[in-house]
A and B are shown apart, each in its own frame.
Chain A
């Protein structure tokens, strides 16, 4: 009887522990919604890839130290529907990324709002990932992004 109860408890716990899985992985699986971050830096690498895109920027801090940050965004399909094309980011371009830091403390952010070199601002989140700005539409809500 006791063991049955323990089993039931374990099943319930595992159900709660498994993060909501959408198309790939949800925002909360890897990122901390309480750690908004703004990165301004030069593009060093672009991965226009499924199921998530990545781009990397060199950020210079106040002491002049350069660190490379990874920025995760939605896949090519979702980004294309927001008018963001593969060639829009070029190595050496300076961009502004408003995002949230990875839970593991690494130099990785989930890019929720990206200001492209041509001045356009694009929502970067995966549709339906449950993160900040995810309002159920393709375009997302840019206004809820952090670091105003």
Chain B
């Protein structure tokens, strides 16, 4: 069947390709429709006097949804401004007005820059917060940057605490602590913005989260197929469904369609690129100002089969540590999700996960863009590369980049390094 489709001469093959093309359009329309509705809801919340929360993308949005709050994610705005080439401008604003060092996290500088300028890219409306919800255990920049935001707007700031996952296991008191922090967050929100928490509503929302999560698990299984049905260019478009639409019908609708697409591709041997040569792990968040670089990789037959940061946001622990969302225990489920998320685990745990990915996804190489102003990534890059080379004989490409502030990115050097890396992969293929 697969070879028949590749030859592309039959009606059947033509029919499949038409269906895939149609689905691609449907996915695009869904994304546009959902995001427009989300933007409208932010504007509407302001008009109706509904409280708006600025939240970190890793925060349990399901709880805020159950409290009928409008949630704005400033980090996503920095990412969006990267696409339009304005992220550098916002970062520079944070440096000039806020006095922040250029060495600090560019994602957070971008957030603070939009705050000082009181504007967003593409002229969209910037909702001012009534409350800021951040957290402390993922990284220093998130821990401290939200304090700057809370102080500037003069609004209450809540910071969720949680234990660091040192050895990949959670014990009872850590789970209790994580859950009690979320309960404390609920009390804090109720106190400051008079929103009422309804457990029944949260359970309904968590059921939708669980449903979306189980679909994503299936997608991941399909993504082990050779050729790889989805690539990095697709992952970049998923981002909002990992953050903004958690616990919604929209997420279930989107992931269901993605699953349908992936399933059909795998069953018919259709990859995301025509000539798959190398299967890669991509260990970093999206770099929207390097979109052409992702396309370049795909054109060379180098396919990203697994991006820990992409689904590590929420689903990593589910896959590797076996926990599932239990809608009847929403606080514990959300605490577990946070605990096992990719940035919250130690390097040995991360490397253990990579070794499994390398085997199960048949990986040839690893790309680790060392986001220079992100300590978490830039510090662990060399150690990951070294360990994976020693333990799995897998080459890695590590290069310096600023994922948001395009002023600090040397694209030419990255392209040269990429070509060399592809040559290394080619020669190790030849050897084997």
A and B physically associate: no
Interface of A toward B, CB cutoff 8 Å: none
